[in-house]
Amino acid sequence: MKLITAIIKPFKLDDVREALSEIGVTGVTATEVKGFGRQKGHTELYRGAEYVVDFLPKVKLEIAIDSGLLDSVIEAITKAANTGKIGDGKIFVTSIEQAIRIRTGETGAEAL
Amino acid sequence: MESQVTELAYAVDTFYFLVMGAFVMWMAAGFSMLEAGLVRSKSTVEILTKNIALYSVASIMYMVVGYNIMYPGDGVSAFWPGISFFLGGDNTAEGVIASGGDTYYSNLSDFFFQVVFVATAMSIVSGAVAERMKLWSFLLFAVVMCGFIYPMQGYWKWGGGFLDQNGFLDFAGSGVVHLTGACAAIAGVILLGARKGKYTSDGKVVAIPGANLPLATLGTFILWLGWFGFNGGSELKVSDVGEANAVAMIFVNTNAAAAGGVIAALIAARLAFGKADLSMALNGAIAGLVAITAEPLTPTPGWATMIGAVGGVLVVFSVVLLDKMKIDDPVGAISAHGTVGIWGLLAVCITNEEAALTAQLLGIVVIFMWVFVVSLIAWGIIKVIMGIRISEEDEELGADYSECGMEAYPEFVIK
């Protein structure tokens, strides 16, 4: 089992969700987050005074999947979230030691 | 038959007066939303509390003593109106008919129309001192402002005192209401100081963006609506062709000036900052309205647009200038009502042949000196007695927490 953590541009959320559904991913957790990478921040203006926004809004997706799906999930996200411009985000993959479905007590891949 | 016409005209004019007064009352909602939109979310509850409480303080203080100071009938002198308490009785049908139309509205409708103006002046103060003033200190000042400071200068002009006798013209209150509110505000802000973090130690201005620009925009539209009552009602009469046409002219000019103010402020902000700043466009609407308030009747609609537009440009540069002087006014009230109020009083000279520049300057100086100095003393005394500023820690947490103990949007927080 793998946990995929993907940081994407917020407006790409729908595209990514659709792409994941198509390849059979049954659950995604999305969080609104802020951060900076190479894109850095940008300056905004209010009543004549500039201020720097260092942390830009992003969406963080957490997807727990069976290891067999890993390559197709990565491909789906990479394709759907890509704009070709700086700030498209990143995908991190970690291993899951154990997964349990709270309602039934099922464990392992059955619980995903 | 003739007496019936007189009675009917009395009823129509009283009705008009009351409805226009209700429009102005609604401006309290406009100020609340504008201010709630331009402060941070942690100061929302406190500014709303301040707004509804100041409206109520104004209503009570003006009824108890303010109205009598401002309109004493026969003042003791042109400077001192004398003091009396509570409202008098109203007209009788016989009296109205006997006057042959000279008495054309109910006395209580006049009180109602006047009391909502006091609240407007006080609302101006609340925005300027937002996010850092103690709630109860502010309300104590509201008592002094609505019961004494405002009515005194109101007597000098609208009550028939020395400013009126010297030919000072101020149709609906660019000076009596708006400049007055701004002068009380600037005195408060000077004693209060800027919000924490607004200016860096090396003198730079730090932007503190407003939490909710949709609310600020709604508030501005509400004020714009209310202003038709503010200026239109100040004609005091609608029941014949001449008066009805005058009221129509005032509505058209009031609208034109606000529109001119918005466009001019938007263009000025675009040229000065490179972006079309919404908050400045909103201030531009208020500026246009304040500018035309001193004389909404004699300009043509074209002139009204120009007078409003000059107000719109002035407000943008006044906001920037006040920031340079480290006078922190979160909503731009001092600029929109003070700087532009002065412009409005001067602009009377452009289209009103009866206006004299010297009389307008006299009015500006007298109102400024009176309101600023007495407000400074009042704020100063309150500061000594109970303090006017919340602690640094409370300011960090927000006035909502320290003054009211609740949040504007509690459901967005994990408890």
Dump the DSSP string for B248-281.
Answer: HHHHHHHHHHHHHHHHHHHHHHHHHHSS--HHHH
Q: Which residue of B has its CA nearest to A49?
A: B207
**CB contact A92 to B (< 8 Å):** no
Q: How far is B304 from chain A (nearest CA, A)?
A: 26
CA distances from B42 to A51, A86, B28 (A): 20, 34, 21
Query: Cβ contacts of residue B205 below 8 Å, gap of 6+?
Result: A48, A49, B198, B199, B323, B324
Would you call B319 and A47 a contact, using CB atoms and an 8 Å cutoff?
yes
Partner residue facing B206 (CB), from A44, A45, A51: A51
CA-nearest of B364, B411, B385, B408 to B136 is B385
Token match 């007695």: residue? B385
Q: How confident is the model at residue A67 (pLDDT cuts 50, 70, 90)?
A: very high
Q: How far is A13 from chain B (nearest CA, A)?
A: 22
Which amino acid type is present at position B218? Answer: L
* CA–CA gap between residue B171 and residue B297 (Å, rounded): 9
Would you call A47 and B277 a contact, using CB atoms and an 8 Å cutoff?
yes
The pair of structure tokens assigned to B399 is: 């006035």
Tally A–B CB contacts below 8 A.
39
Would you call A47 and B206 a contact, using CB atoms and an 8 Å cutoff?
no
Paired strand residues for A94: A3
CA-nearest of B112, B79, B117, B98 to B3 is B98
Q: How far is B280 from chain A (nearest CA, A)?
A: 7
Whether B345 and B294 have beta carbons less than 8 Å apart is answered as: yes
Would you call A45 and B323 a contact, using CB atoms and an 8 Å cutoff?
no
* Chain A stretch 32-91, residues whose beta carbon is closer than 8 A to a beta carbon of chain B: 44-51
User: Could you tell me the end-to-end alpha-carbon distance of chain B, in angstroms, rounded to an integer?
Assistant: 72
Predicted pLDDT at A52 = 85
Q: Which residue of B has its CA nearest to A51?
A: B207
Candidates B200, B266, B275, B286: best to mutate against A (most CBs of A within 10 A) is B275
Q: Which residue of B has its CA nearest to A52?
A: B207
Q: Residue B80 phi/psi, 5° resolution?
A: -120, 115
Q: pLDDT in tens for each of the 415 residues of chain B? A: 789 999 999 999 999 999 999 999 999 999 999 999 999 999 999 999 999 999 999 999 999 999 999 999 889 999 999 999 999 999 999 999 999 889 999 999 999 999 999 999 999 999 999 999 999 999 999 999 999 999 999 999 999 999 999 999 999 999 999 999 999 999 999 999 999 999 998 888 999 999 999 999 999 999 999 999 999 999 999 999 999 999 999 999 999 999 999 999 999 999 999 999 999 999 999 999 999 999 999 999 999 999 999 999 999 999 999 999 999 999 999 999 999 999 999 999 999 999 999 999 999 999 999 999 999 999 999 999 999 999 999 999 999 999 999 999 888 666 6
Model confidence at A66: pLDDT above 80: yes
- Global pTM value: 0.91
Whether B288 and B266 have beta carbons less than 8 Å apart is answered as: no
Rg, chain B, Cα only: 21
Contacts of A45 in chain B (CB under 8 A): 207, 273-275, 277
CA-nearest of B401, B406, B398, B403 to B131 is B398
Token match 């640094």: residue? B392
Would you call A46 and B209 a contact, using CB atoms and an 8 Å cutoff?
yes
Would you call A46 and B274 a contact, using CB atoms and an 8 Å cutoff?
no
Chain-centroid distance of CA B266 in Å reads 22
Q: B159: how many CB neighbours lie within 10 A of its CB?
A: 23
- For residues B49-60, b (16+ Cβ closer than 10 Å) or e, as one string? bbbebbbebbbb
Q: How far is B220 from chain A (nearest CA, A)?
A: 16
3-state secondary structure of A8: strand
3-state secondary structure of A68: helix
Sign of the CA dihedral with B56 first, then B221, B153, and B96 last: negative
* CA–CA gap between residue B33 and residue B178 (Å, rounded): 18
Question: What is the torsion angle, in degrees rounded to the nearest 10, for the CA atoms of residue B160, residue B166, residue B172 and residue B178?
Answer: -110
Interface of B with A (CB under 8 A): 205-210, 269, 272-275, 277, 279-280, 316, 319-320, 323, 332
Q: How far is A46 from chain B (nearest CA, A)?
A: 6
* CA–CA gap between residue B290 and residue B318 (Å, rounded): 14
Q: How far is B106 from chain A (nearest CA, A)?
A: 45
Q: Residue B86 phi/psi, 5° resolution?
A: 65, 155
* CA–CA gap between residue B112 and residue B109 (Å, rounded): 5
Would you call A46 and B272 a contact, using CB atoms and an 8 Å cutoff?
no
- pLDDT tens profile A14-24: 999 999 999 99
Partner residue facing A46 (CB), from B207, B274, B316: B207
Contacts of A52 in chain B (CB under 8 A): none
Q: How far is A71 from chain B (nearest CA, A)?
A: 36
Predicted pLDDT at B413 = 64
- pLDDT tens profile B34-77: 999 999 999 999 999 999 999 999 999 999 999 999 999 889 99
CA-nearest of B75, B177, B165, B65 to B121 is B177
Would you call A45 and B208 a contact, using CB atoms and an 8 Å cutoff?
no
Q: How far is B99 from chain A (nearest CA, A)?
A: 54
Partner residue facing A49 (CB), from B210, B274, B323: B323
User: Could you tell me the end-to-end alpha-carbon distance of chain A, in angstroms, rounded to an integer?
Assistant: 9
Contacts of B272 in chain A (CB under 8 A): 48
Contacts of B205 in chain A (CB under 8 A): 48-49
Mean pLDDT of chain A, nearest integer: 94
* CA–CA gap between residue B379 and residue B138 (Å, rounded): 9
**A84 Ramachandran zone, left/alpha/beta (phi>0; psi -120 to 50):** left
Q: Residue A100 phi/psi, 5° resolution?
A: -135, 135
Contacts of B269 in chain A (CB under 8 A): 48
> What are the DSSP calls for B47-111, one per residue?
HHHHHHHHHHHHHHHIIIIIHHHH--SS-SSSS------S------HHHHHHHTTSS-S-HHHHH
* CA–CA gap between residue A29 and residue B48 (Å, rounded): 37
* Residue ranges of E strands in B232-385: none
